[in-house]
Chain A
């Protein structure tokens, strides 16, 4: 066959293919493609082999509770919701593989999950080329915000560092009877702890806070923090502020007692993690993104249901997972579509009543879509949590200075 004939054949094929494409039946504008038999949601969390798998498991419990509720009420658009779950193992490469798999192979319309800033940063960096619709539950480091906060496909639940440290400084400055003079910050030496410490120092300067800040890093997961506690004791601070992970705090409390360290207040992040020993955890205050002691009907109902199911109050990752799943399903219900652009538009408008309160996405800092930007300050008092801040949720006053170890007995 001559060159001209080949060219002619190719041209005919192209023309026919083009004509077929143009003549293909397609939905009129506003009418959506047929939905699949099930609504499949992607979930990616650290579920094993990581020190923070407990948070991932807790978020998954919340997500599953939401799915059970939705399915028992007829599903979304009459279809059951199904989860496609991937475990990050707390490892960036595993997370990237899992997320890529959810996007390219499983083709889920939305991915809910992610926990640590380090893993989320690596994952977002790797998958941003796909522009996937993601609803990130965790990651408080502004490094993540700088990377993807302005992307329309990025939706974020957890407050950023500056929300948390801003709340802490606001509380120390304006909601304590006596402003602390010296604050010792013990921070874990990963991205989360280091960034938190930097924010605390910088925002303290910005707010012209009069206190002196002394910092000391530590390795999360250690079996003993006596050395850090003894360093803090030498500094004699008013507030001992620990930025670590849930497993670190009881070790710190015990080491404080063993080394007879008596700051006027021990302050931590996420103090409402279930199971802190009451004898050494009492009087500890801290900043939290949610409290199971909130009195709103949605919070009470969620806590009761969770307690009935798991025999203990939920940690905040559970309502995070629960609320994110409900918001995603509500958006699908509203727009009757799984296409990315439609779903983004629907998510931007979605608003629901949840255990976290009335939630919707709003623009904050450098983030287009942020859910939680307000935090709580609470204190354990005789084995119960008292909400100290914000004022509208306040259920008691801060005990400050707290009793010394010898005054508490034992």
Chain B
């Protein structure tokens, strides 16, 4: 029984690590621009397709492709800001929601037209290698995804704390007007934030191809999970986001493994945890 519990806990933590990376871009856009990007999961889907085609056409490993994918997605993020986000920066929240939701549907339709709805997966032999550590086992694919996800998440937090640009982003997220008066080019910060958020989606997209089948509709579920994590952790809080990601991963794993019909209940129970936390602390773990 103890072995089972350990295995379930490990599975939950690995899942949570991936959720953290998926959520990072969404949290960043919300924290800095105060916009909830419902197309974030679809940007991950787009990046996953780039990774798939790089592997299929040029035999580039998804992990090796991460920097290229991140660069491509950074540029897409810049274009996304110029074309879509900038015009609605000062618009009412529901206009912003309509825009990002519309962009989500557009990306899905585009992927459907370009690549059909066939499910695709990159075959990387090492993704199926399994390590046995005492009584518990762990797949290399998930371990790589977890390691890169945690690495990027922590690296990004360091970037926010230690760099001038990161400081500017934090300033704008706290008070864009004050930041502007302090000489920070807020518009430029917004532009780069959109690029970085999309770049993080690029990293997540590459990792998705290691462990999952992809189709044009995988983004919806990822957005929903990321949205849940952001709410649970407190919108805009990075520490809260990490704790919420692990909480969500553990909740899904524990409910799935130990409750009757847990496989069906897990997604619902995970969101019930979110409801329960919000009932006690409406701003989430670390929201203000």
Q: Which residues of A contact B11 (CB under 8 A)?
A: 224, 226-227, 230, 259
Most B Cβ at <10 Å: residue of A54, A223, A260, A275: A223
Q: Is A231's beta carbon under 8 Å from chain B?
A: yes
Within 8 A of A (CB), among B208-230: 211-213, 215-217, 221
Q: Is A186's beta carbon under 8 Å from chain B?
A: yes
Question: Across the interface, do A225 and B132 meet the contact criterion of CB distance under 8 Å?
Answer: no
Given contacts A54-B119, A250-B121, A410-B125, contact A223 B8 (CB under 8 A): no
Question: Across the interface, do B212 and A251 meet the contact criterion of CB distance under 8 Å?
Answer: yes
Question: Across the interface, do A277 and B123 meet the contact criterion of CB distance under 8 Å?
Answer: yes
Q: Which residues of A contact B217 (CB under 8 A)?
A: 49-51, 53
Shortest C-beta distance, A276 to chain B (Å), equals 9
Question: Across the interface, do B118 and A54 meet the contact criterion of CB distance under 8 Å?
Answer: yes
Q: Is B117's beta carbon under 8 Å from chain A?
A: yes
Q: Is B180's beta carbon under 8 Å from chain A?
A: no
Cα distance A280–B108 when bound, in Å? 29
Cα distance A410–B255 when bound, in Å? 30
Cα distance A260–B262 when bound, in Å? 20
Cα distance A51–B117 when bound, in Å? 9
Cα distance A47–B264 when bound, in Å? 26
Q: Is B109's beta carbon under 8 Å from chain A?
A: yes
Cα distance A258–B266 when bound, in Å? 20
Shortest C-beta distance, B199 to chain A (Å), equals 22
Q: Which residues of B contact A189 (CB under 8 A)?
A: 261, 263-264
Q: A-facing mask of B131-151, CB < 8 A → 1, else 0?
A: 010000111011000000000
The 8 Å CB contact of B125, one of A222, A228, A279, is A279
Within 8 A of A (CB), among B100-158: 108-109, 112, 116-121, 123, 125, 127-130, 132, 137-139, 141-142
Q: Which residues of B contact A218 (CB under 8 A)?
A: 263-264
Most A Cβ at <10 Å: residue of B15, B121, B213: B213
Cα distance A169–B288 when bound, in Å? 58
Given contacts A49-B108, A223-B212, A277-B128, contact A57 B118 (CB under 8 A): yes
The 8 Å CB contact of B257, one of A50, A222, A227, A410, is A227
Interface size on B, residues (CB 8 A): 44
Q: Is A91's beta carbon under 8 Å from chain B?
A: no
Q: Which residues of A contact B121 (CB under 8 A)?
A: 250, 275, 277
The 8 Å CB contact of A227, one of B138, B142, B266, is B266
Within 8 A of B (CB), among A203-258: 216-219, 221-228, 230-231, 234, 246-247, 250-251, 254, 257-258
Question: Across the interface, do B253 and A254 meet the contact criterion of CB distance under 8 Å?
Answer: no
The 8 Å CB contact of A246, one of B109, B119, B132, B266, is B119
Q: Is B7's beta carbon under 8 Å from chain A?
A: yes
Q: Is A199's beta carbon under 8 Å from chain B?
A: no
Given contacts A48-B109, A226-B256, A280-B128, contact A259 B264 (CB under 8 A): no
Question: Across the interface, do A230 and B119 meet the contact criterion of CB distance under 8 Å?
Answer: no
Q: Which residues of B contact A216 (CB under 8 A)?
A: 261-263
The 8 Å CB contact of B130, one of A51, A223, A405, is A405
Q: Is A305's beta carbon under 8 Å from chain B?
A: no
Cα distance A333–B149 when bound, in Å? 61
Question: Across the interface, do B109 and A217 meet the contact criterion of CB distance under 8 Å?
Answer: no
Shortest C-beta distance, B201 to chain A (Å), equals 16
Cα distance A50–B7 when bound, in Å? 33
Given contacts A48-B109, A250-B213, A277-B123, contact A228 B128 (CB under 8 A): no
The 8 Å CB contact of B15, one of A57, A224, A279, is A224
Shortest C-beta distance, A221 to chain B (Å), equals 7
Shortest C-beta distance, A51 to chain B (Å), equals 6
Cα distance A47–B15 when bound, in Å? 31
Q: B-facing mask of A384-410, CB < 8 A → 1, else 0?
A: 000000000000000000000100001
Cα distance A216–B138 when bound, in Å? 23
Shortest C-beta distance, B260 to chain A (Å), equals 8
Cα distance A129–B109 when bound, in Å? 34
Q: A-facing mask of B1-17, CB < 8 A → 1, else 0?
A: 00010011001000100
Q: Is A382's beta carbon under 8 Å from chain B?
A: no
The 8 Å CB contact of B252, one of A51, A227, A277, is A227
Within 8 A of B (CB), among A82-137: none
Cα distance A251–B214 when bound, in Å? 12
Q: Which residues of B contact A227 (CB under 8 A)?
A: 8, 11, 252-253, 255-257, 262-263, 266
Cα distance A234–B15 when bound, in Å? 21
Q: Which residues of A contact B255 (CB under 8 A)?
A: 227
Q: Is A278's beta carbon under 8 Å from chain B?
A: yes
Cα distance A47–B263 when bound, in Å? 28
Q: Is B166's beta carbon under 8 Å from chain A?
A: no
Given contacts A48-B109, A226-B11, contact A258 B137 (CB under 8 A): yes
The 8 Å CB contact of A279, one of B112, B118, B123, is B123
Q: Which residues of B contact A221 (CB under 8 A)?
A: 221
Cα distance A189–B138 when bound, in Å? 27
Q: Which residues of B contact A405 (CB under 8 A)?
A: 130
Q: Is B287's beta carbon under 8 Å from chain A?
A: no
Shortest C-beta distance, A228 to chain B (Å), equals 4
Shortest C-beta distance, A194 to chain B (Å), equals 10
Question: Across the interface, do A275 and B8 meet the contact criterion of CB distance under 8 Å?
Answer: no
Q: Is B267's beta carbon under 8 Å from chain A?
A: yes
Question: Across the interface, do B261 and A257 meet the contact criterion of CB distance under 8 Å?
Answer: no
Given contacts A223-B211, A254-B139, contact A54 B117 (CB under 8 A): yes
Cα distance A216–B211 when bound, in Å? 23
- Closest 8 A/B residue pairs (Cβ): A227-B256, A218-B263, A258-B139, A53-B117, A227-B257, A189-B264, A228-B263, A217-B264
List 15 additional contacts besides A57-B117, A227-B256, A251-B212; criterion CB under 8 Å: A48-B108, A53-B217, A54-B118, A217-B264, A223-B211, A224-B252, A224-B253, A226-B11, A227-B257, A230-B8, A230-B11, A250-B213, A251-B211, A254-B128, A258-B138
